[in-house]
Structure 1
Amino acid sequence: MARGNRPSRHRARVVAATVTALTVGGTALAEVPASAAGKPKGHDVSSHQKNVDWQSAKAKSAQFVYVKATESHTYRNPYFSQQYNGARNAGIIRGAYHFALPNKSSGTAQAAHFVRNGGAWRADGWTLPPALDIEYNPYGTNKCYGLTKARMVSWIKAFSDEVKRQTGRRPVIYTTTHWWNTCTGSSSAFGANHSLWLARYDSATAGTLPAGWSFWTFWQYDNSGSLPGDQNLFNGSTTQLKKLAKG
């Protein structure tokens, strides 16, 4: 996921077939996995992208974006307002995400920090559900943050419950299949009521999904491309994307 300090993603990169997405004028914009061609395209940004040119992103066919709001229970993205409000003003559906550090504080505490600082949701048709980014530890060698599988599941549940209590929406969960199955013990407790935002790079398909999910809602398929930050696709139509935003 895009973060200000850009630590290693620990993602396996697999050479695969792609197709070129084009603007109306025919200018090549990005390499999109062949199996997902034609799906609404978006991206995600953090403080690393600083002030984003949203009109340019819109002209390059961005239909949605997730903006990093917070990390742990203290960090706030200093560019959040420009990014989050700027996307909306350009006519791009946007949402906020939180980068989890489960070894620093409780899921409840981090969810509360997130909602206070950009993670709130409103049924205006322009706001995607809040998102939880939970993945490899960028600050140490223990990719599961020192938590047992049972404690990790409890942490995620606590975060989700607090977001739901405060916003009325369950968070989208961003993760990788390997991290999820390794660090939650292949928990299937979240697939029924949490949308999946899958990270898998340079692959013709999204591949095997984390335990509990039968389909992905968002797919982060690369960490660079025509749009600022990471490149994403939505698994549906533009109408369905707008419906997800409306709740």
Structure 2
Amino acid sequence: MAVSGAAVPIADQSAQTIPAEWPRGIDISSWQHPAGAQIDWNAVRSAGVTFAIVKATEGMTYTNPYFALDRLRALQTGLVVGAYHYARPVLPITTAVEQADRFLATTGLTRSNGHLAPILDLEADGSLSADQLTAWTRAFLEEIETRTGRTPILYTYRSFWTDTMKNTTSFSRYPLWFAIYNGSSSSGSLPGGWQKWAMWQFTSSGSVPGITGNVDMNAVCCGVDALAASADGRISEIDRRYGSDSRVRSALGTAIRDEEPAGGGGRWRQFEQGLLFWSVATGVHEAHGGIGAKYLNLGGSNSFLGRPTSDEVDAETTGSRQSVFQGGRIYWSAATDAHEVHGAILNHYLSLGGAGSDLGLPISDEYPVGGGHQSAFQYGWLRWDADSGTVAVTRP
């Protein structure tokens, strides 16, 4: 999307030191409609603004009455558009999912070009503890990613994150919209383990033709290509991986169903010979062949294995393969077929050398025995004792 050559009039003149090639944008709410005043979106676009983020909802009861029309008219004038939800955290944690679903009911899934990913505005704690607020935020964001297939954006500011959120690094994988009004050409150091920001809200006192009163101003790092990439909701992360990786295409074949939400969060798609799973936490990984079939048979991401955290790779012994999941591993060879190993038994197995140990490959899934659980291997057994919590090796 081309950037107009006209400069955006900004009341905070020190912010003019931000590199000129960084796209400038605004974020608005009903405050930009005093006494019902309308926004002249053509004037906004002519002033050099390239994107507009509109407040959609707040908590469980408020919907911005100007949201739908503002977003539509901004889009019609050629602006990239985005929508945000102002979080009102409250217990129980399930209210996060309810707020996320209400937000999406207002905005739609934004799976089209010209729309930024959904945004969570987090600056109220609802008297929740840091741990509770972390759990609430995670539930909201994971509901958004599961429903839309897009990685949501998180808006916050430094003192809220360092003090209220106790500077948790749990969300550094989400794109950051960072608010700091320091009058500089740089936002400075970031909290929460973030190494970079996606958007920077650098002033709340911007002045833009077509808008009555002050308006928040933002920049996208670090050019129009970055803005265009962020605003393309047509291609999912699963699509990108499949389209860019010839090895994956060869292993999986053609898609046989549409992408859809996965149990435990994220998205998945089934192909002729396997699966692709995605979540923000785990990335995109495949499971195919015997391992993929075993995984589906166990329940896929709804099972104790959760989502895959690796593609299928060689195991430690010749001719064997393995895939790593959140809750365990599946091993396969032509001689032994596919079997899972998880929990304490897996930890002990790996400490011995895994498939490269003298136990060899698993020849059974884990199964219950008196007082615990056991897994059988080519050359022995590993048994977990419930009373002691220990794992013992038995060899023939």
Q: Which stretches of structure 1, 4 residues or more, deviate above 4 A after TM superposition? A: none
Q: What CA distance in whole angstroms lies between the structure 1 residues aligned with 2:126 and 2:90?
A: 6
Match in the other structure for 2:58: 71
**Counterpart mapping for 1:1-247 below 5 A:** 24=5, 29-30=9-10, 31=13, 32-50=15-33, 51-103=38-90, 106-118=95-107, 120-124=109-113, 126-135=114-123, 137=124, 144-192=125-173, 194-204=174-184, 205-227=186-208, 228=211, 229-247=215-233
Superposition deviation, residue 104 in structure 1: 6.9
How far 1:210 sits from its partner (Å)?
A: 1.8
Normalising by the residue count of structure 1, what TM-score does the alignment of the two structures yield? 0.82
Contact (CA 8 Å) 2:220, 2:226: kept in 1 or not? no
What are the ranges of 5 or more consecutive residues in structure 1 without an aligned counterpart? Answer: 1-22, 138-143
For residues 17-42 of structure 1, give each alpha carbon's deviation from its aligned partner in whole angstroms, at most 9, with x where no partner exists: xxxxxx746x7722325244431100
TM-score under structure 2 length normalisation: 0.52
Secondary structure of the 2:143 match is helix
- Counterpart code for 2:110: W
Once the two structures are superposed, what CA deviation does each residue of 1:116-172 show, in whole Å capped at 9, x if it has no partner? 011531132x0001100011x4xxxxxx32111111110110000111111111210
* Bigger strand share: 2
Cα-to-partner distance string for 1:154-195 (whole Å, 9 max, x where unaligned)? 011000011111111121000001101112211111112x11
Distance 2:96 2:135 in 1: 8
- Structure 2: state its 5+ residue gaps: 234-396
RMSD: 1.8
Task: Determine what percentage of the aligned residue pairs are the same residue.
Answer: 33
For residues 72 and 205 of structure 2, the distance between their equivalents in structure 1, rounded to whole angstroms, comes to 22
DSSP-derived class of the 2:72 partner: helix
AA partner of residue 101 (structure 2): A
Cα shift at 1:197 = 0.3
SS at structure 1 position matched to 2:225: helix
- 2:268 — aligned with what? none
Rg (Cα) greater in structure: 2
Length, aligned pairs only: 215
RCO greater where, 1 or 2, for CA within 8 Å and sep 6 or more?
1
The change in CA–CA distance for 1:49 and 1:29 in structure 2 (over 3 A counts) is same
